[in-house]
A and B are shown apart, each in its own frame.
Chain A
Amino acid sequence: MVSKEQIYNWLEEVSDPEIPVLSVIDLGVIRDAKNIDGEWLITITPTYSGCPAMKTMEEDILSKLKTKGIDTARVELVLAPAWSTDWLSENGRVKLREYGIAPPEHEVDKSVLFAAPTIVPCPKCHSKNTRMVSQFGSTACKAMYQCNDCQEPYDYFKCLK
């Protein structure tokens, strides 16, 4: 019989459709894998309420398991406890930076009303002399920044807690 660890190892091969450098394990959206009377139940949690990638992840998980010979599996979406960027793996943070996306800083931007936004080091030259260009970005989980030193424009994977 296939173990839970084996299922998790296979899921390392399923990537986030929006940020293909991350696996669903790196992203921290896989909450559990249980075998119930021969059927595998994979529990996942959304990063953002309206994240359109969740449906694709669900399909990708099922088709990956199928290629490994697991035909009876289903994916269930749960909201609680709510996903936070703390669940992003260390490995995932390194991969994000190498890919050119600044990983989430450990502190959520609690500032209200014009307070300086979080300092996010440039993923290319590591300078801290950067500025936020836009609070929102190309996907729900990102904001846009630019480096004042090397001029690199980059995505910031927003801290969410």
Chain B
Amino acid sequence: MKNEALFRYLLRLGDDSLILGQRLAEWCGHGPILEEDIAMTNISLDLIGQAMSLLDYAGVIEGKERNCDKLGLLRYEKEYVNVLLVEQPNGDFGDTIMRQFLFDAFRKPLYEKLVNSSDKQLAAIAEKSLKETRYHLKHSSEWVIRLGDGTEESHERVQNSLDTLWRFADELFYTDEVEAQLTGEGILPDLSEIKTEWESTVKHVFSEATLEIPANNWKFEGGRKGRHSEHFGHLLSELQYMQRAYPNMEW
């Protein structure tokens, strides 16, 4: 393999996009209003497109002739390295929007940094994806404010969404020897400012939305190491169904 750390890093980004894209696709035909049904499936499409670019490139780095379909649809549960946040069930619309906001607020500054990667293909994927992600963040943050600063019921429900999902947010900033090595090689720019920017975005939006960050600081992690929540197997059974039932099918 050309660069194992880069392969592993691309899987992390690619799996986050793929799994969140799959979750959003579950809303197709079930959105609370037509415009939001269309919004969530459009965002899903962007994320799955980004996952295809990232996983295709991971396959090139790996050098074992695995493309985005093979990597995306034919790995086992423990080989997926997405964060736990993105595999959490859709819940109600507020849960989905909160999950999306926590993710978009992270992805935007991340892509802004990755545009400067010394790895040309990673920089190109970031440049393409950044334009889409800015639009997603505008959509999700406006909804967080509308629901939080809306009616008594919408406020209470989206505060519950935040209370439930907050424990998964910290894993977005998980780093280990993979990031350390890539930073050393100049492929990853300094990622330390991303958390500061994320915190300032979420604090600003939550204050507009009159939402309280939970005092309970209990954090969950494990996805980056392949340890997933019980929801994940069910998600994979749907995601992988066609390839498992009809191996190597194409259309």
Find the B residue at minimum CB distance from A115. B138
Pick the interface stretch among B45-53, B83-91, B172-180.
B45-53
Interface bin, chain B: 20 to 34
Judge whether A80 and B123 touch: CB under 8 Å.
yes
A134-B39, A135-B39, A138-B38 are contacts. A160–B124 as well, Cβ < 8 Å? no
Dominant SS among interface residues on chain B:
helix
Contact of B230 with A by CB under 8 A: no
A49-B50, A50-B45, A52-B45 are contacts. A113–B35 as well, Cβ < 8 Å? no
> Which residues of chain B are near A158, meaning CB under 8 Å?
135
| Min distance, Cβ B179 to any Cβ of chain A, angstroms | 23
Q: Bound complex: CA of A110 vs CA of B220, how far in Å?
A: 35
Interface bin, chain A: 20 to 34
> Which residues of chain A are near B53, meaning CB under 8 Å?
49, 79
Q: Bound complex: CA of A109 vs CA of B134, how far in Å?
A: 10
A79-B127, A140-B42, A140-B45 are contacts. A50–B52 as well, Cβ < 8 Å? yes
Interface residues of A in 48-76 (CB under 8 A from B): 48-52
Contact of B159 with A by CB under 8 A: no
Of the A-B pairs whose beta carbons lie under 8 Å apart in the complex, a sample of 17, sorted by A's number, is: A46-B49, A46-B128, A48-B45, A49-B132, A50-B47, A50-B48, A50-B49, A50-B52, A79-B53, A79-B121, A83-B128, A112-B138, A134-B35, A135-B39, A137-B38, A140-B46, A144-B35
Identify the 7 closest CB pairs spanning chains A and B, nearest first. A50-B49, A49-B49, A80-B124, A134-B35, A50-B45, A79-B124, A136-B39
Binding site for B on A (CB under 8 A): 46, 48-52, 78-84, 109, 111-114, 133-138, 140, 144, 158, 160-161
Given A49-B46, A79-B127, 11 new contacts (CB under 8 A)? A48-B49, A50-B48, A52-B45, A80-B127, A82-B127, A134-B39, A135-B138, A136-B43, A137-B42, A140-B46, A158-B135
